[in-house]
Amino acid sequence: MRINLTNKYIIPIIILFLTGCADKHFLTVKKTISQDIKFNSVKVVIIDVELDDTPFTERVVSINDSRVLKNGTLVVNKKIVLNALTEALSFSGKSVFTIDEYNKIKKDLTAIRPASGYKHSKIHALIKLKISYGIQSGSFESEKVFKFYRRSKTCQYIKNPPIDYEPCHSNINTSRQQIMLDKNAASLIDLWYSGEIYLNDGNDNYYHHKSLEGSELITAPYQDENAINQNIAAGIGKLISSNVGLLDLSINLQIEDANHSDAIALLKKGKVEDARKILEEDTDSPLFNSATDFYNLGLIYHTYGDTKIASDYYSKAIQIGGYKRIYIDALKNIRVLNEDSTVD
């Protein structure tokens, strides 16, 4: 899937964090980006699901044998799956209903209000899904090899050792192995789905917008069928949300510690605006020729969300200071989010 990241498609949430790693310090820019602009503009979404018959096997596996306790077709409670699915879909600012829920709301509201004075919410999008999964569940016993280690130290002293010479070294050796029983209880769910999204053109005419498909192997506790259904629906909700929902991007921007130590100190404390004023005092001078200051100014405007000015400063840093990795990476991050770029 190709995601267009134009400025008008970027939801303007820019949060500034200051983090440190050893002697490196970073400014972190976070943006929430829509992966599907048309879908994310809708307000009311209806979900309809078709569930396939589900093969289900429950086993007890020990060192000596394997017994099947239950083998057949799982009775899937569609209502549980649908309710869990609507809760798991992370669609910010949207009302998500099952078809049954939506029809019941319409019926109830129509019953308590006169038809002439009632207008129900229009459906903006319809998601039709077909879900299939197979489940193998049970308790499992197996042998596991545990290794035990011992630590020793050997030393060798020499005359006139070099300055960095280390006479003693620690060694870790395997002393013995022991085979123990490993017992666990779990469910393994092989899940796949396909579906279609239809959007309302505003006149109650629905057109095909996008096809959906995905699969996942889900591990869940050893539990009853209803709980397994909820785990499955939650897994599908995350898969669908990642395809058509919102994408959180986080970009770490490394502060370059060089010129203008007072401005750098302010940046490290998160006082970005104060640092900007200091760094920009000299930029109008014809003698100004600091790649580091241009780069750090680029970081500042990057955090402000003004990618055009940030890109100009990064480019100046590259022209003066050469193709340093942090300069190139910063400019790449700009290009990932600007109006001319896309992300696969």
pLDDT tens by residue, 303-313: 888 888 999 99
- Does the structure show a pLDDT above 90 at 196? yes
What integer pLDDT is reported at residue 340 of this predicted model?
38
**% of the chain with per-residue pLDDT over 90:** 7
> How far apart (Å, rounded) are the C-alpha atoms in residues 88 and 85?
5
Give the global pTM: 0.55
Residue 224 has φ and ψ, to the nearest 5°, of -75, 170
Confidence of residue 339 (pLDDT cuts 50, 70, 90): very low
For the stretch 209-230, pLDDT in tens is 989 888 888 888 777 766 777 7
Q: Are 9 and 246 spatial neighbours (Cβ–Cβ below 8 Å)?
A: no
Whether residue 272 is found in the same domain as residue 301 = yes
Q: Which amino acid is located at 129 in the chain?
A: L
What integer pLDDT is reported at residue 287 of this predicted model?
65
Whether residue 99 is found in the same domain as residue 168 = no
What integer pLDDT is reported at residue 65 of this predicted model?
84
Gyration radius of the chain's alpha carbons: 30
> How far apart (Å, rounded) are the C-alpha atoms in residues 72 and 105?
37
What integer pLDDT is reported at residue 333 of this predicted model?
81
Final residue in a domain of this structure, among 229, 244, 259: 244
> How far apart (Å, rounded) are the C-alpha atoms in residues 138 and 146?
24
> How far apart (Å, rounded) are the C-alpha atoms in residues 123 and 274?
49
Q: Which of 44-48, 72-76, 233-237, 291-295 is predicted least confidently?
A: 233-237
Structure tokens at 301: 């405007």
> How far apart (Å, rounded) are the C-alpha atoms in residues 218 and 240?
15
The continuous run of DSSP H or E covering 328 comes out as: helix 325-337
What integer pLDDT is reported at residue 343 of this predicted model?
36
Whether residue 309 is found in the same domain as residue 253 = yes
What integer pLDDT is reported at residue 3 of this predicted model?
38
Q: Are 229 and 84 spatial neighbours (Cβ–Cβ below 8 Å)?
A: yes
Whether residue 65 is found in the same domain as residue 160 = no
Confidence of residue 208 (pLDDT cuts 50, 70, 90): very high
Please state the domain count of the chain. 3
For the stretch 95-151, pLDDT in tens is 888 888 888 877 777 777 655 555 666 889 999 988 888 888 888 888 887 777 777
Whether residue 25 is found in the same domain as residue 153 = no
61-67-73-78 Cα dihedral, nearest 10 degrees: -40
What integer pLDDT is reported at residue 134 of this predicted model?
85
Whether residue 192 is found in the same domain as residue 175 = no
Q: Which amino acid is located at 64 in the chain?
A: N
Give me the chain's average pLDDT, please. Answer: 78
Q: Are strands 95-98 and 44-51 parallel, antiparallel or unpaired?
A: parallel
**% of the chain with per-residue pLDDT over 70:** 81
Question: Which residues touch 325 (CB under 8 Å, ≥6 apart)?
Answer: none
Mean per-residue pLDDT, 42-62: 86
Whether residue 26 is found in the same domain as residue 130 = no
Final residue in a domain of this structure, among 244, 268, 288: 244
Whether residue 113 is found in the same domain as residue 164 = no
For the stretch 258-281, pLDDT in tens is 778 888 888 888 888 888 988 888
For Cα atoms 289, 290, 296, give the angle at the middle one, nearest 5 degrees. 140
Whether residue 174 is found in the same domain as residue 192 = no
Final residue in a domain of this structure, among 224, 244, 264: 244
Q: Which of 289-293, 294-298, 311-315 is predicted least confidently?
A: 289-293
Whether residue 97 is found in the same domain as residue 77 = yes
Q: Among residues 106, 27, 65, which one has the least CA distance to residue 268?
A: 27
Structure tokens at 12: 């303007």
What integer pLDDT is reported at residue 330 of this predicted model?
87
Confidence of residue 234 (pLDDT cuts 50, 70, 90): confident
Q: Are 255 and 26 spatial neighbours (Cβ–Cβ below 8 Å)?
A: yes
- Does the structure show a pLDDT above 90 at 47? no
Whether residue 73 is found in the same domain as residue 162 = no
Confidence of residue 15 (pLDDT cuts 50, 70, 90): very low
The CATH number of residue 231's host domain is: 3.40.50
> How far apart (Å, rounded) are the C-alpha atoms in residues 79 and 73?
18
* 4 against 331, higher pLDDT: 331
What integer pLDDT is reported at residue 141 of this predicted model?
85
Q: Which residues make beta-bridge pairs with 32?
A: 11, 248
Whether residue 254 is found in the same domain as residue 230 = no
- For 218-284, give the DSSP string: EEEES--HHHHHHHHHHHHHHHHHHHHSEEEEEEEEEPP--S-HHHHHHHHTT-HHHHHHHHHTSTT
Q: Among residues 280, 193, 202, which one has the least CA distance to residue 241?
A: 193
> Residue 12's domain spans which residues?
3-35+249-343
